[in-house]
Amino acid sequence: MDLKDKLVSSFMAFENFVDVDAAIHDVRSEAIKTFEIQGFPTKKDEAWKYTSLNSILRHDYSVFPKEENALEYHDVKKYFIHDIDTYKIVFIDGKYSSHLSQTTHDGIDVCLMSAALSKPKYRLIIENYFNKAAAKDSLTSLNTAFSQEGAYIHIPKNKVVEKPIQVLHFSTGNESALMLQPRNLIVVDENSHVQIIERHQSLTDNPILTNSVTEVFANKRAIIDYYKIQNDKDSASLIDNTFVKQKRESHASVHTFSFGGQLTRNNLNFYQQGERVDSTLKGVTIIGDKQHVDHNTLVHHIEPNCESHQDYKGIFGDRSTGVFNGKVMVNKEAQKTNAFQANNNILLSDKASINTKPQLEIFADDVKCSHGCTIGQLDESAMFYMKSRGIPEKEAKALLMFAFSNNVLDSVKIPEIKQRITKLIAKKLGVNLGFDL
Amino acid sequence: MSKYTEDDLREELKTKEYEYGFYTDIESETFPNGLNEEIVIAISKKKEEPEWMTAWRLESFKVWKEMTEPEWANVHYKKPDFQAISYYSAPNSKPKYDSLDEVDPELLATFDKLGISLDEQKKLAGVAMDVVVDSVSVATTFKKTLAEKGIIFCSISEAIKEHPELVKKYIGTVVPQKDNFYAALNSAVFSDGSFCYIPKGVRCPMELSTYFRINQAGTGQFERTLVIADEGSYVSYLEGCTAPSRDENQLHAAVVELIALDDAEIKYSTVQNWYPGNAEGKGGVYNFVTKRGLCENNAKISWTQVETGSAVTWKYPSCILKGDYSVGEFYSIAVTNNFQQADTGTKMIHLGKNTRSTIISKGISAGKSQNSYRGLVQISSRADNARNFSQCDSLLMGNECGAHTFPYIEAKNKSAQIEHEATTSKIGEDQIFYCNQRGIDTEKAIALIVNGFSKEVLNKLPMEFAVEAQKLLEISLEGSVG
């Protein structure tokens, strides 16, 4: 039985332990139908031209992990941003782990999707926001059908959340192969400000497939900073679908740091639904081995006077492959749009490859849209300069690569994350640099 | 004079009729509508082709029957009914003439209207012309001068008869029969086209030129062009088209193959002005063209195109940079107005070492038109030190048109250097203000700006052609180009 059939039949089992009378369940039934019709995307789909899921779909994933698993904090401490105080929502094999987490209902809601879906006090928010930003493509629908657990974050009006929120997903490998489908909802009301860090981490060599969907709503003048750290084991794959809807004068930024995993696909979609909105999409990808990272972004400019900035840097070694597919759409009404998109790549090996497709679709005349994309090598004269001053080749290379990705790190607003990323990059490049960025 | 604004320009663009819309009544011999094996054989017979050619056509037809029309392009149109088209039509006054005086006077009048007075151009422009009216070459000039140098420049049907070894060796090598739906169709039913062979080390002394013209109602035109530049030779080839005003959609599916052997250079320039349909988007030519060139070691192929016509354009002149140190270039201006749709661009396939390619594409959209750039730059793993530079700029006039960019970049070699940049803008009010301030009226200012915008490409056209290109830009964007 292939994975698609398995998932479709698992849906019936799933219906046994969720409330099928809830309004939300209609959304689920609808979604499983969509998935059943569309199936998993193949290379024939334009959006998946360069990424094949075949290699990860052949495993026999279990969809419902059987037992509860516990982890000790000191075993997994290194995966947290632990040097600052944060709220934490931690999941182990898809199940909420209360003793690792630190949630709150004090003025803001930082809690669980399962609670939000079942308790009446959240009904209004769920009705207004749940599945309202997510696309109806097959993988998102698959997640919607099984949506049950994940992070639920609601920040009411005029609140600046004083510490960042960490969302962590661990998988322990108690199952021979596991598929996880976390579903997150983040609603930030007027004038509020929040910072979120998301990480998926496998603790096992068993194959893990995560198909995550996150919906983010930035209301008037809200500010959201979202950081995704992807440094998973080579046995784990991640399909991340993030949808951000922005109302007027809101600022939202998503930084994606992809250093690991067998296959990582980031579907990042921004919809600008008000005037003077600002969207930032940035990413650094440094991979080797046979890893594959695919960034698929969409910025849809719907209203006038908005801005978007995209900046993706990639360094590809060994037999790794990188994909960047960035799309900027400017509606007829969205005059005075200012959209910028850049994608710069370095290939370190002849076996590595990069496919990039920066795409513009513009229907308004008074706009400034530009995109640039380069593929190149490290500057030989710069290398020579450093080597002639006694810096070994490896360090010199690393320095240049740091400089290359610095644009993206510059806009990271939490210093601890910047440090962490710097360390990760240094580790990835196999050097020990005696400075903190 | 009252102030001329962009709105006025737009108004003018809307009402501007196709100036070259006329129809010459020449008695034509036309095949019945529809396509089947018998028609393919009949076309082949009509052209008195050898057996291998008939077999080649039939093979193509077989492939075509299995294929479906491509739908990935960013264009929307009513699909042509391939069984409602007549696949062959030829002017009747045969056999060929010894001098121009014998040519049907009406035909000559057609050329006059187009501004290609043959006899005048012979002397003034130094352009040898292989004029194609409805698929059959009726006049070839300057053949003698060319023959002295050993250059073969004739219609493809003549080449099939007289130089079968060359045709057999090269036809279908760059654009295989099963390459795509329209290439397969063309391979099966192509009626005529041009053939050009430049021998080793010869520099072609003049610009070779072909004028195409769709003339008979309801006939699709399937041109086949084959240009071979032998080692160390050089040729500049011009292709230009105008078509009369018609109501039903006409199909044009041409195939152009260029082969540049070691150290050779081919420069291929096109001005395309098929009938774009009227202001309501009715009628107009469907232009589905496959153009591709193959570069051997140290060879160079340069495509330059000015696309102003056609209701739907689907065209990607490409270069396969097979040899080491080969160079591919693509310079394009695509202008769309009213309901025109263009999906055009190029493919640069880097296979050899130290290959270079340049892409400059300028899109201008006005009215309710859609203009797309679609390009592919591919660096294979063996193509060390490949270099590419691409630039795609779009200019939007009015808020009902669209500009789209779909660049595909695939690199498999670490020494590749690729740069791509694209911008979209409109004519800035500050730019117009600057001109106005210096006593240049708005009409002139827009002309200056559009001219400046497309200058990089216009500069690449041969002198004789640049004039015509300017003329066509003028018709497409009347009032904006001075």
Nearest by Cα to A112 from A183, A191, A34, A218? A183
Contact flag B402-A362 (C-beta cutoff 8 Å)? yes
Q: What is the ipTM of this complex?
A: 0.78
Burial class from Cβ neighbours inside 10 Å (0-12, 13-18, 19+) for residue B373 reads buried
Contact flag B399-A358 (C-beta cutoff 8 Å)? no
- The tens digit of pLDDT for each residue in A68-102 reads 667 788 778 888 888 888 898 988 888 888 888 88
Q: Which residues pair with B405 in a beta bridge?
A: A360, B373
CA-based torsion, A131, A135, A141, A146: positive or negative: negative
Q: What is the pTM of this model?
A: 0.81
Contact flag B411-A354 (C-beta cutoff 8 Å)? yes
Contact flag B418-A376 (C-beta cutoff 8 Å)? yes
> Does residue B173 lie in a domain region?
yes
Whether the pLDDT of residue B480 is over 80: the answer is no
Give every CB contact of residue B249 below 8 A, 6+ residues apart in sequence: B77, B78, B80, B283, B284, B285, B286, B311
- The tens digit of pLDDT for each residue in B404-414 reads 888 999 998 88
Mutate one of B357, B405, B431 to test the A interface: name it (highest A CB count within 10 A): B405
Give the tokens for residue B237: 């080839």
Residue B406 has its nearest CB partner, among A353, A359, A369, at A359
Q: Radius of gyration over alpha carbons of chain B, in Å?
A: 22
Residue that has been written with the tokens 């993206």 in this structure: A408
Mutate one of B409, B421, B423 to test the A interface: name it (highest A CB count within 10 A): B409
Whether the pLDDT of residue A324 is over 60: the answer is yes
* Distance in Å, alpha carbon of B44 to nearest chain A alpha carbon: 37
| Beta strand extents in B441-480 (DSSP E only) | none
| Beta strand extents in B47-170 (DSSP E only) | 89-91, 128-133, 136-140, 152-155
pLDDT bin (cut points 50, 70, 90) of residue B213 is: very low
Which of helix, strand or coil describes residue A64? coil
Residue A360 has its nearest CB partner, among B397, B404, B418, at B404
CA distance B186 to B192: 10
> Strands B224-229 and B255-260, how do they pair?
parallel
Q: Do residues A199 and A91 touch, judged by C-beta distance below 8 A?
A: no
Nearest by Cα to B228 from B254, B203, B196? B196
CA distance B348 to B388: 9
**What single letter denotes the amino acid at residue A279?**
S
Contact flag B411-A375 (C-beta cutoff 8 Å)? yes
Element (H, E) at A420: helix A415-429
Which of helix, strand or coil describes residue A144? helix
Domain total of chain B:
1
Phi-psi region of B263 (alpha: psi -120 to 50; beta: other; left: phi over 0): left
Residue B405 has its nearest CB partner, among A348, A350, A360, at A360
CA distance A153 to A195: 11
CA distance B330 to B345: 8
- The tens digit of pLDDT for each residue in B36-56 reads 888 888 888 877 888 888 888
Which of helix, strand or coil describes residue B382? coil
The pLDDT assigned to A27 comes to 86
pLDDT bin (cut points 50, 70, 90) of residue B120 is: very low
The most confident of the ranges A26-30, A174-178, A326-330, B103-107 is: A326-330
**φ/ψ of residue B462, rounded to 5:** -65, 150
Q: What count of Cα atoms within 13 Å lies in the side-chain half-sphere of residue B307? A: 35
Residue A348 has its nearest CB partner, among B414, B422, B423, at B414
B443/A62: higher pLDDT: A62
Q: Do residues A407 and A311 touch, judged by C-beta distance below 8 A?
A: yes
Q: Do residues B202 and B149 touch, judged by C-beta distance below 8 A?
A: yes
CA distance A117 to A127: 10
**φ/ψ of residue B303, rounded to 5:** -100, 130
Using omega within 30 degrees of 0 as the cis cutoff, is the peptide bond preceding B95 cis?
yes
Nearest by Cα to A140 from A57, A198, A244, A214? A214
Residue that has been written with the tokens 């592919």 in this structure: B376
**Arithmetic mean of pLDDT, B139-152:** 72
The pLDDT assigned to B247 comes to 46
Compute the CA torsion angle B243, B99, B235, B463 (nearest 10 deg). Answer: -60
**What single letter denotes the amino acid at residue A66?**
K
* Distance in Å, alpha carbon of B321 to nearest chain A alpha carbon: 19
Give the tokens for residue A351: 């076996």
CA distance B363 to B376: 17
Q: Do residues B127 and B207 touch, judged by C-beta distance below 8 A?
A: yes
How many A-B residue pairs are in contact by the CB < 8 A criterion? 116
Q: Which residues pair with B312 in a beta bridge?
A: B286, B341
